[in-house]
Structure 1
Amino acid sequence: MAKKTSKRGGATTSARSAATAARTRAVRGSREGAAARRVAERDGGVTSRSPAAGRSARLREEYEDQQRKRPRQSQNRQPGIEAEMKPQPESGEDSYRGSGKLLGKAAIITGGDSGIGRAVAVAFAREGADVAIVYLNEHQDARETTRMVEEAGRRCIAIAGDVGEPDVCHEAVERAVRELGRMDIVVNNAAEQHEQESIENITPEQLLKTFQTNIFSCFYMVQAAMRHLGEGAAIINTTSVTAYRGSDHLIDYASTKGAIVAFTRSLATNLAEKNIRVNAVAPGPIWTPLIAASFEPKEVKKFGSDVPMKRAGQPAEVAPSFVFLASDDSIYMTGQVLHPNGGEVVNG
């Protein structure tokens, strides 16, 4: 007896099953074919990538090449001059792509003339923010940062002064608000460090100066800015991986960075009811003027090679952490620390 088949809409169940199987084979074949093409398509021995993946790979290769070719060098002043560094740090001028995350906002960035501060200024500008940068006396670096921000279509106010002095911080904040019209973001990034082999070599003058620049300035800037910060404002502090693993030759510096972590968590709790978020970024070894100004030439050459990624990071690789913490993308985060550090594992 012939097998009966049911009919619906003129098509048999057997026919539908056959069609489904055919479609499944076609999809599977398409996927396998696409995978095979991705493997097979080569350009100079490198598997073809999407534009985004290709750009990422090019940047990584460039940074690794810089690590290998970095010459011995040093600078005999703090916090160092970016214009004198070889190779120049990557600030994101050619690599950072904004998407309007900070449109219409204004930020003040201490240590904003070079290094991480410059990269943050560039990224903020690309995201739509006007910025004021506060720096000690590195006027050439400050002019270059101003150029980068203005070429991104935003305003940049450059303010020279020692942020370890409360009056300087107050005047900087007032000028920034006066010229930019508002203040939404405070970035406490200024720092100095002085390598010493023994705690006995740390003079009272060095100890006081390191604490004034690195942690006292955070208090002074926030105190000056509070009357201008409204709901939704963000405060971001630059701490360091040394706050978590210590440093045998930067004892005073690491101590200030640990203090910044405690400051961040305490201030976040204090300001939560005002809807002002306070977070921090703890970079690992980043290629900035502070490095050339702090260490012996042979140490500068190999700087950053001891992390899992085997190279120093670039300021442009750290700046997106600041953008995230400044934007509404992190609206449910306060009292937290981000760790762009090349793969070092930290606790706390």
Structure 2
Amino acid sequence: MPGQETLPPQGQSQQPGREGPMHPQPRYEPRFPGSGRLEGKVAIVTGGDSGIGRAVSVLFAREGAKVVIVYLEENEDAKATAEAVRREGSECLTMAGDVGDESFCQKVAEETVRRFGRLDVLVNNAAEQHPKESLEEIGAAQLTRTFQTNIFGYFFLTKAAMPHLGEGGAIVNTTSVTAYRGSSHLLDYASTKGAIVAFTRSLAQNLAEKKIRVNAVAPGPIWTPLIPSTFPPDRVKQFGADVPLKRPGQPNEVASCHLFLACDDSSYMTGQVLHPNGGEIVGG
């Protein structure tokens, strides 16, 4: 609905964005009591400091998992998420670094197992985006940086996790609705999200014999720090107005998809993508 305002206009000058200054605050708290669906499991969540990653981390903790939160440099957001995980009665490890660095990803996997003795679930979720109005505006540095974080990081951390994931393990990748419908102003970002879909489907086939499931979640417009840190205030105020539900989604409306794919509720699903996107029809 053109012109409909869904949020107060706001912006942030720093990327990655911070959750603290956002108003209203994104809703990350789990909406239902836990039922032990990840009891005794250990999960890594990249981009776990804020947004969808925060909601996933806290929900996993409520369901019994110990959580490793991987983030770039947003220390205050990561601290707040870790405290929320611990309030759920779980244990939490935070690790700051660049998932586009393969040696850091190796360190994350090794430290997870050293600290908790196992690894059961990997959630590849970290991402960055840099809107540009035309292809000519996207330089080699931006293109490389976006792919380094959004798809190379998924490859690197999955590769590092593989020696530690056993039968029954689960990998959940965060892609995007832009992988299916495209985005005229996020050409490089949407391209990485399409690559994540192909990576998910291919890896699912590759790991089927090992009984490790690989699935993905493709969110639509979700109220996370990526939004005020990458779009101007006049676009932020109409964010999510163009989907059938006419509003942006909240992180805790997406995290339940990650939980479903991470636990045995989805034991007969691999290579699949869930679409919490406010009613936009994708894939025919």
Matched residue type, 1:337:
V
8 Å CA contact 2:178–2:193 kept in 1: the answer is: yes
Question: 1:86 is matched with which residue?
Answer: 23
Deviation of 1:69 after TM superposition, in Å, equals: 6.6
Q: After superposition, what is the alpha-carbon deviation per residue over 1:155-186, rounded to whole angstroms, capped at 9, x for unaligned?
A: 01000001011011110111111112210000
Question: What is the TM-score of this pair, normalised by structure 1?
Answer: 0.79
Aligned ranges 1:151-300 → 2 under 5 Å: 151-300=87-236
Aligned with residue 104 of structure 1, among 40, 47, 50: 40
C-alpha distance in 2 between matches for 1:120 and 1:107: 10
Q: Deviations over 1:82-132 (max 9, x none)?
A: 011111000015x34211100000000000000000000011000000000
Corresponding position of 2:10: 73
- 1:10 matched to which residue of 2? none
Match of 2:69 among 129, 133, 136: 133
Q: Is the 8 A contact 1:79 1:191 kept in 2?
A: no
Match of 1:63 in 2: none
2:271 to 323, 327, 335: 335
State the partner residue of 1:123. Answer: 59
After superposition, where does 1:44-63 map in structure 2 within 5 Å?
A: none
TM-score by length of 2: 0.97
Structure 2: how far apart are the matches of 1:135 and 1:160? 5
Q: For 1:170, what is the secondary structure of its paired residue?
A: helix
Q: Secondary structure at the match of 1:159?
A: strand
**SS in structure 2 of the partner of residue 83 of structure 1:** coil
Once the two structures are TM-superposed, the CA of residue 78 in structure 1 deviates from its matched residue by: 1.7
Q: Looking at both structures, which has the greater relative contact order when contacts are Cα pairs under 8 Å and sequence separation is at least 6?
A: 2
Name the amino acid aligned to 2:16.
P
Partners of 1:341 and 1:301 in 2: CA distance: 18
Work out the percentage of aligned pairs sharing the same amino acid.
65
Query: For the pair shown, which has the larger CA radius of gyration, 1 or 2?
Result: 1
CA distance in 2: counterparts of 1:271 and 1:332, whole angstroms: 14
- Which has the larger share of helix? 1
Gaps of 5+ in 1: 1-66
Following superposition, the deviation at residue 70 of structure 1 comes to 2.5
* Matched position secondary structure for 2:119: coil
Task: State the Cα RMSD in Å.
Answer: 1.1
Q: Tell me the SS of whatever aligns to 1:322.
A: helix
4+ runs deviating over 4 angstroms: none
Give the number of equivalent residue pairs. 281
